[in-house]
Amino acid sequence: MTKDSFSNKAEAFEAFDDTPLSPAHGDAIGAVIARRFSRRDLLKGSLGVAAATALFGDAALQSALAQPKPSFTFSFPAVPAGVDEKHHVAEGYDVNILIRWGDPLSEGKAAFDPRALTAEEQTQRFGYNNDYIAFFPLDDRGTRGLLCVNHEYASPEVMFPGVGVRPDRNDFAKITEAHVGIEMAAHGVAVVEIVFEGGKWKPVLSSKFNRRITASSEMTADGPAAGHDRLKTAADPSGLKLWGTLNNCAGGQTSWGTYLTGEENCNGYFWTDQKGADGKRLNKGLGGAQQKSYDRYGIPSNWYSWGKYHERFNVDKEANECNRFNWIVEIDPHDPASTPVKHTALGRFRHEGAEMIVNKDGRVVVYSGDDSPFEYVYRFVSRDAVKLGDKAANMKLLSEGALSVARFNDDGTVTWLPLVFGQGPLTPVNGFQSQADVLIDARIAADHLKATPMDRPEDVQPHPTSGKVYIMLTNNERRRPEQTNKANPRPENDFGHIIEMTAPGGDHASDTFTWDFLIKCGDPKVAKMGALWNPAIASDGWFSSPDNCTFDSQGRLWVGTDQGSAWSRKTERADGFYAMGTEGEERGLPRLFFRCPVGAEMCGLCFTPDGQTLFLAVQHPGTDGVKDWKPFGRESTFEDPATRWPDFHPEMPPRPSIVAVRKKGGGRIAT
């Protein structure tokens, strides 16, 4: 997702996300870094150049820089930082465009023509703005598998001819009901069988597994909020028959072979007919029993005009539909006839993802960030343990368990605060009548527990073996000095940081963890940024706005970035995919492996189990920040985009795509 300047639809999403919806709390901080780090940390490479100078002076800095340069275990030549119309990958690697927006998922389909696209056609083709990716092998050789891909949102200005720039600027005057149908069909999830043949991965169009799940697909719910009055609508008086999944950002994989997808910025799809004195549609103050909840979740936001044609997205006509989104959805990719399940036990908020690990006691633990400024980090621990080989039983594990939210303490510990009805402030006095209310309004419950407001927590990824958990904190330029806290010490945090939590003894269900900084992003040469890197950082190695991350087959950390429109003003470098050490001499030392085309975001980040293929999702190419990119200097439209990646055909707009990266001649990536 993107931020700031409202130069495209994605920026509208993040610009609203950048409006704090949580109450102001959190104590002030002075020299937090000095309290948390020592000269020994500096000499180990735990502090960045700028922070080292500020804290310990030039002498200490020179001492640190005099240390031997660490050897880098990621063996590839770094890609130079920069930006242009194309993608770039490390020398010695090939990039194959695996599947693009509009590509067919079944045989007999005509070549993609965006000018002739219909909603029905879109349901049978690869969706728009591909984000999270998961790979499920279908054979022991790893040459066949199922690829599950999130389709986060639509960018109508570059999808449809004749629309011009962002449609909400003229109250969707040029967006028709037909456009809305395509947008709804372009959302959701794609399940695609792929095969490795002739040295390349390609879709299997004859596969029985290929499937699109959209904003209109039938779903159900389980857990404490399933069937609750606040999930009931005129179309579904049971509160159990839901339709569609929206704004699917990141996700996760379960140990029993299913796919988890996180519903993030669902507020943007809800609409009101009411307008203010300025003629703009209202986004608060609508009144009604759920006003407090609406305001806390940013409903309505009027990013799309779906509510103009579909009453369920119009809050004036259907007050509860919004409560049926912002959940974690489980999908069985191996069963095309299966009904996706929204797991209410995992709480309702803007889920960036749902990364799972099996705990040492056999229970499953799911981590998730709420991707907005001043929001929180959550953890779910299942009540029951995994039953090996019993998929049906395991698919019920996310129905019951304990949801908690994190408080990051000044002494370097993390306290997990249970979101349980009747405990502490989570009582009728504060508006909670049941556990369902706690989960539906998880944000409000977390406010009452005084969880730590973070700088846009996105991916929260547990290491597969070490007991460490990495939190991508993308940025938060709205944090003021009096709002800083121990885990978010920089006011006006334009660049983001990564926190490393450690579960004691590898017990992810423990009530208390410890935490530390891995990095603080930004240019290490600019002291006022307070960047925190390994002193051996290269001029092209530093980055901004960590978003998604993953571990490869060797347990090494990789990070993707999402600067939104800010890259053009703050870094002048495109988003990309970085390898980075977490231990020893290379801790906090990144290297750029893949660079996106202009205006695109780096998503996906998925390795095959053998480590020889890397799947990456490149979404919204040609949109973010292109108005401020001097070679282009205007906003993209269908007819006039900043890039036509990946086709570079004069009749084809930019197309979000999945790419497959492999080493020339074969072998594991970066070894």
Predicted local distance difference test score (pLDDT) of residue 20: 66
Contact yes or no for 308/296 (Cβ under 8 A):
no
Average pLDDT over residues 313-336: 98
**Model confidence at 69: pLDDT above 70:** no
Domain boundaries, the chain: 9-30+68-264+326-663
Residue 548's SS3 state is strand
- pLDDT tens figures, 464-505: 999 999 999 999 999 999 999 999 999 999 999 999 999 999
Predicted local distance difference test score (pLDDT) of residue 46: 40
Average pLDDT over residues 41-49: 39
The DSSP code sequence of 344-367 is GGG--S-B---EEEE-TTSEEEEE
Residue 61's SS3 state is helix
As a whole number of angstroms, the distance between CA 357 and CA 348 comes to: 20
What stretches of 351-456 adopt beta strand conformation (E)?
355-358, 363-369, 373-375, 377-385, 401-408, 413-418, 454-455
202 or 70, which is more confident?
202
As a whole number of angstroms, the distance between CA 489 and CA 333 comes to: 42
Contact yes or no for 148/333 (Cβ under 8 A):
yes
As a whole number of angstroms, the distance between CA 105 and CA 212 comes to: 9
Task: Provide the pLDDT confidence category of residue 54 given band limits of 50, 70 and 90.
Answer: very low
Query: Could you say which DSSP state residue 288 is in?
Result: S
Average pLDDT score over the chain? 91
Predicted local distance difference test score (pLDDT) of residue 669: 96
- pLDDT tens figures, 72-116: 588 899 999 999 999 999 999 999 999 999 999 999 999 999 999
Average pLDDT over residues 19-23: 73
Predicted local distance difference test score (pLDDT) of residue 56: 35
**Model confidence at 546: pLDDT above 50:** yes
**Model confidence at 47: pLDDT above 50:** no
51 or 111, which is more confident?
111
Contact yes or no for 278/381 (Cβ under 8 A):
no
Task: Provide the pLDDT confidence category of residue 254 given band limits of 50, 70 and 90.
Answer: very high
The two structure tokens encoding residue 43: 């000499």
As a whole number of angstroms, the distance between CA 482 and CA 555 comes to: 38
Give the torsion sign (CA, 287, 288, 292, 296). Answer: negative
Report the amino acid identity of residue 101: W
Predicted local distance difference test score (pLDDT) of residue 19: 64
Closest residue by Cα to residue 330 from 247, 431, 399: 399
Residue 47's SS3 state is coil
**Model confidence at 31: pLDDT above 60:** no
HSE-CB at 16 with a 13 A cutoff on CA atoms is: 23
**Model confidence at 59: pLDDT above 70:** no
CATH superfamily for domain 9-30+68-264+326-663: TolB, C-terminal domain (2.120.10.30)
Predicted local distance difference test score (pLDDT) of residue 18: 58
Query: Quick one: what percent of the chain has pLDDT higher than 90?
Result: 86
- pLDDT tens figures, 629-671: 999 999 999 999 999 999 999 999 999 999 999 999 999 999 9
Predicted local distance difference test score (pLDDT) of residue 36: 38
Predicted local distance difference test score (pLDDT) of residue 24: 62
